[in-house]
Structure 1
Amino acid sequence: MNKTLELNHLADIAKAIGHPHRLALLQQLFIREYSVEELSELTELSITNTSQHLQHLKKVGLVLTRRQGKNIIYRIGDGPIANILAELRNFLSFQNNEIKTLIYNGIHYPKQLEGVSIAELIEKLEDGAYLLDVRSKEDYQAGHIPGAVNIPCEELNAHLAELPKSTQIITYCGGRFCVLSINAVALLKQYGFEVCRVPDGFPGWQAAGLSISS
């Protein structure tokens, strides 16, 4: 690709995601497919506004569509889109130390930020680690990492007896925009479990092109 054309295309992608409403729409589409009406309700935008933002995202391939009867259904586009948003988040954290502030003020356990990469997760699963999905039941059913057990974070305290004390537990949630796995690690450590988290979560698994269960 011509260098100028490549830079122009990169600029188009940057421009497409350069709006908080579009980032909010992308976050929802990482969970599952939605119609315009559903996205409008979830993001509290008008249907017209939602549709306009989705068209900008579709133009550069960040979202894709399919027809279901009379409705157009939107889903996240192909490729490492989760990585793009994760790196934006990393840069924001570098600038304002946001994550450390969140941990210090809300959880007070800085080590809960520590986690494993997707590659390390695969190795740990091969060694028999227990994988815990702490997202909602709806998000889990829409798609999850194969072999993961689902206990929503808010229900975790009631299911502690079901978790192994002799096996490492690895938690994950909706990625770097989500704090559910941080909260889960904090809770489980209080009860003596050996536990860590996957900061990139389910979006990171998707971005790596690995198989997904539903």
Structure 2
Amino acid sequence: MIDPAELRRVVEMLRGMAYEHRLHILVVLEAGEATPARIGEAVPAHPTAIAHHLRHLAHAGLIRRRRQGRHVLYSLAGDEVVTVLDAVLRGSGR
């Protein structure tokens, strides 16, 4: 039996992935840290939309944000995210 709090955490994680641009951002970050500008080069969305998606992914616990001087860098939150992302994409035929 799964703990209800754990179940809610997993649901939140899956909701965070359940949008094309968010999933694309996660794929970009699978290659390593990136700035919003770098993510915007890979993901065909307006910079405002990218910022919105990044906030949503961070809230879902899928990504981390850190400052390096004047730059903000995003990365996947951990190996658990990589495992789930790989499983989701493998299921899609990747």
Q: Which amino acid aligns with 1:61?
A: G
2:74 match: secondary structure: strand
Number of the residue aligned with 1:50: 50
Number of the residue aligned with 1:61: 61
Number of the residue aligned with 2:87: 87
Once the two structures are overlaid, the 10-residue window that deviates more, 79-88 or 54-63, is 79-88
1:81 match: secondary structure: helix
1:44 match: secondary structure: coil
1:52 match: secondary structure: helix
2:61 match: secondary structure: coil
Size of the aligned set, in residue pairs, is: 93
Query: Following the alignment from structure 2 to structure 1, what is the Cα–Cα distance between the partners of residues 84 and 18?
Result: 12
- Choose between structure 1 and 2: higher helix proportion: 2
Q: Which amino acid aligns with 1:35?
A: T
Matches within 5 A, 1:38-187: 38-93=38-93, 177=94
> For the aligned residues, what is the CA RMSD?
1.7
1:75 match: secondary structure: strand
Identity of aligned residues (%): 24
Is 1:34–1:73's contact at 8 Å kept on the other side of the alignment?
yes
Is 2:76–2:82's contact at 8 Å kept on the other side of the alignment?
no
- Per the TM alignment, residue 88 of structure 1 is displaced from its structure 2 partner at its CA by 1.7
Q: Deviations over 1:98-150 (max 9, x none)?
A: xxxxxxxxxxxxxxxxxxxxxxxxxxxxxxxxxxxxxxxxxxxxxxxxxxxxx
Note the residue ranges of structure 2 that are not aligned, 5 or more in a row.
Answer: none
Q: With the length of structure 2 as denominator, give the TM-score of the two structures.
A: 0.84
Q: Compare relative contact order (CA 8 Å, sep 6+) and give the higher one, 1 or 2.
A: 2
Larger Rg: 1
Note the residue ranges of structure 1 that are not aligned, 5 or more in a row.
Answer: 94-176, 178-214
1:65 match: secondary structure: strand
Q: Deviations over 1:28-76 (max 9, x none)?
A: 1111211112211221211110111111111122111111222211112
Q: Which amino acid aligns with 2:74?
A: Y
Does 2:31 align with 1:31? Answer: yes
